Structure 1
């Protein structure tokens, strides 16, 4: 059981990829804090998990006060933190737009959530992670961060940069920091919103593995990077995208 007696704080975990990761961590013996701006949805997710190993907290990652309050509630409930998964983000077609088409306020909103949200959570969780052997942080980037052709891609490129910067900074506390860069994954929102021609091009033309990516694919990668199995890896971004994009 890779997460036995370990506690994970997961942002944006009320649904989609974050929910899949939270569910898997509980299955693997751990406890989870479902930290989400939508408290009602977070509570709904918790109702499907063992009551003594799952907690819902309201958390707006762009707001320092909200993050600090959520982390304090989590630590009071479980006694500490072993894993931070920075999953909350603004994404999909609203933000997959040319950089000059976003207003200044939209840019600030995007960066406040996708970039500064990670900084806020890392800062708040660091003292507690530092107390635990094998502590790990996992940031969720995107293959868009390797093909930064729009505003969303730029924000996810910044996540890759944050991952290396935090890996170096938090190493002194024994905390590893890595990232996942998902490709076409079958989360509910992505399947509802992404145009079918875009998905077909990505899967059938660009990917080397010609199938839809699944949340299970990401969960397995998360297990590897957040458990002791990946204890000699830090500062890396792992693409989970069926062979796209390739890099040397």
Structure 2
């Protein structure tokens, strides 16, 4: 059976940043395979709209307004999910700040901007993972997947440093959560041509990145979705603490 054909009937998945982009795509893919997906997003309206679309396609989905940097809000949202559904099987820590505003010199971002960047991209991973752990403990196949970035391997800006921290947090949390039977892995996407990237990324920067890829084609959203499906499936049951680079070879290193 192909990984993409694995069935997740009865599974409960919480996806942060689930209102759009990768988060919405993850939710759509998991719901299509039988999971109930909870799309948690700071933009509650976007999350509700995405959940409505999934339900219209025959999937099971709900939405929650959630700032992953707000510990009290996260605890409340995850507590409600666990109470309503009996537990959590999959957590995707996808929410993150990644616009052009954070890919510039630290002095331009400023201390307040840097603090918010790390609160969301790094502390958000810890806050959500720790909140979900009790509801995931002991559930067969329980898996956390964090979203890092190929920028973690270059560190050209503070954004890349935040995603380097996600790689480290992934390895550390994998050690801690193993006692509860929870695997923790990460995906580091390369240049993926989503609508947002096409709108924001200067053509010369896109050309620079693609010139350093080993594979010449454009990265597509489905490449990251397929990686997610692998990491939450039985096919990866002996994989934990790893960051899977999906970059067309851009982030290749020894």
TM-score, with structure 2 as normaliser: 0.94
Q: Which residue in 2 is equivalent to 1:21?
A: 26
For residue 32 of structure 1, give the secondary structure of its aligned residue in structure 2.
Answer: strand
Over residues 40-87 of structure 1, what are the superposed CA-to-partner deviations in whole Å (9 max), with x where a residue is unaligned?
111100111227720100110000011111112222332210000000
Query: Distance between the aligned counterparts of 1:100 and 1:146, measured in 2?
Result: 21
Are 2:185 and 1:185 aligned? no
Checking the alignment, whether the CA contact within 8 Å between 2:212 and 2:250 is kept in structure 1 is yes
For residue 170 of structure 1, give the secondary structure of its aligned residue in structure 2.
Answer: helix
Residue 210 (structure 1) shift:
0.9
- Residue 241 of structure 1: which of 216, 236, 247 is its match? 247
Q: Which residue in 2 is equivalent to 1:213?
A: 219
Query: Distance between the aligned counterparts of 1:44 and 1:74, measured in 2?
Result: 19
Are 2:43 and 1:33 aligned? no
Over the aligned positions, Cα root-mean-square deviation in angstroms equals 1.2
Checking the alignment, whether the CA contact within 8 Å between 1:55 and 1:74 is kept in structure 2 is no
Residue 2 (structure 1) shift:
3.0
Residue 33 (structure 1) shift:
0.4
Long gaps (5+) in structure 2? 1-5
- Residue 10 of structure 1: which of 15, 24, 28 is its match? 15
Residue 11 (structure 1) shift:
0.1
Q: Which residue in 1 is equivalent to 2:159?
A: 152
Query: Distance between the aligned counterparts of 1:96 and 1:155, measured in 2?
Result: 11
Query: Distance between the aligned counterparts of 1:207 and 1:182, measured in 2?
Result: 12
Are 2:98 and 1:91 aligned? yes
Checking the alignment, whether the CA contact within 8 Å between 1:185 and 1:215 is kept in structure 2 is yes
- Residue 55 of structure 2: which of 25, 29, 50 is its match? 50
Residue 128 (structure 1) shift:
0.6
Long gaps (5+) in structure 1? none
Over residues 112-169 of structure 1, what are the superposed CA-to-partner deviations in whole Å (9 max), with x where a residue is unaligned?
0000000000110000110311100000000000111211000000000000000001
For residue 102 of structure 2, give the secondary structure of its aligned residue in structure 1.
Answer: coil
TM superposition outliers: structure 1 runs of 4+ over 4 Å: none
Over residues 93-120 of structure 1, what are the superposed CA-to-partner deviations in whole Å (9 max), with x where a residue is unaligned?
1101123333111111010000000000
Over residues 146-196 of structure 1, what are the superposed CA-to-partner deviations in whole Å (9 max), with x where a residue is unaligned?
111211000000000000000001111110000000011122222211111
Q: Which residue in 2 is equivalent to 1:121?
A: 128
Q: Which stretch of structure 1 is more off in the superposition, 44-53 or 65-74?
A: 44-53
Query: Distance between the aligned counterparts of 1:187 and 1:33, measured in 2?
Result: 22
Over residues 175-224 of structure 1, what are the superposed CA-to-partner deviations in whole Å (9 max), with x where a residue is unaligned?
00000000111222222111111111212x11111111111001111011
Query: Distance between the aligned counterparts of 2:154 and 2:205, measured in 1?
Result: 15
Query: Distance between the aligned counterparts of 1:247 and 1:28, measured in 2?
Result: 34
Are 2:232 and 1:226 aligned? yes
